[in-house]
Amino acid sequence: MTEKTSIQVKENIFSANDQIALENRDYLDSLQVFSINIMASPGAGKTSVIIQTLSRIAAVLRVGVIEGDTAPVTIDADKISAAAQIPTTQINTGGDCHLDAVMLRQGMSALPMDQLDLIMVENVGNLVCPAAFKLGTHKNILIASIPEGDDKPYKYPAMYQSVDVLILNKMDLLPYVDFNLPYFLEGVRILNPNLIHFPVSSKTGEGFQAWTDWLLSEVRHP
């Protein structure tokens, strides 16, 4: 009975979260605000990718950022706010390894939603939990990086199957790291054949034009 009860509780949690996620999406659509959920492991470069992206789009789009973190520190939020001078808010998950739909709703309440075109949500650094919790965003973005290794699609298939776009960051390190790019991309293709892929370097800016062109197109023609 304990196992059945545990399964039922988990099903109820996911069901309630999914319903709130749908409400979040309806709210975003009513305001014509596009939204992306950015996920990655710790150190993959979520914040640096966001800052590079903002440097290219903040002049033409009104952008807000929601930062998710397990601890009440505002390091990443402060970096983004200082770099781009845009509305930014942070959600402390209280130790949880992911954002959920309720947390996104709280984050949106702290932003001037009627003055935005795009919300960028930086999820908690984790390749397991965030894949299971819908937020209501329009697109799910995964950032992988060269130093993490080429086996991540094989080790974390649920994450790679649940996203719409893959950004492979730190391409400038490829000549110096034992990373088999064809092996990595084959794992991605097997799991998610329609996944859009952008190789980039947050350090050099390589590849960001293609990524931001895609993002601008999605915001303007969802």
Question: 2-220: which CATH topology?
Answer: Rossmann fold (3.40.50)
Q: Please give the structure tokens belonging to residue 16.
A: 């309630």
What is the β-pairing status of strands 196-199 and 165-169?
A: parallel
Q: What is the pTM of this model?
A: 0.90
pLDDT band at residue 87 under the 50/70/90 scheme: very high
Look at residue 1 in the predicted model and tell me its pLDDT: 45
What tens digit of pLDDT does each residue of 37-81 get?
999 999 999 999 999 999 999 999 999 999 988 665 566 667 776
Look at residue 9 in the predicted model and tell me its pLDDT: 45
pLDDT more than 70, % of the chain: 88
Does 5 have pLDDT greater than 60? no
Look at residue 98 in the predicted model and tell me its pLDDT: 86
pLDDT band at residue 106 under the 50/70/90 scheme: very high
Determine the average pLDDT of the residues in 190-217.
97
Yes or no: say if 146 and 169 are a contact pair by the CB < 8 Å rule: yes
Look at residue 27 in the predicted model and tell me its pLDDT: 98
Does 6 have pLDDT greater than 70? no
Look at residue 94 in the predicted model and tell me its pLDDT: 75
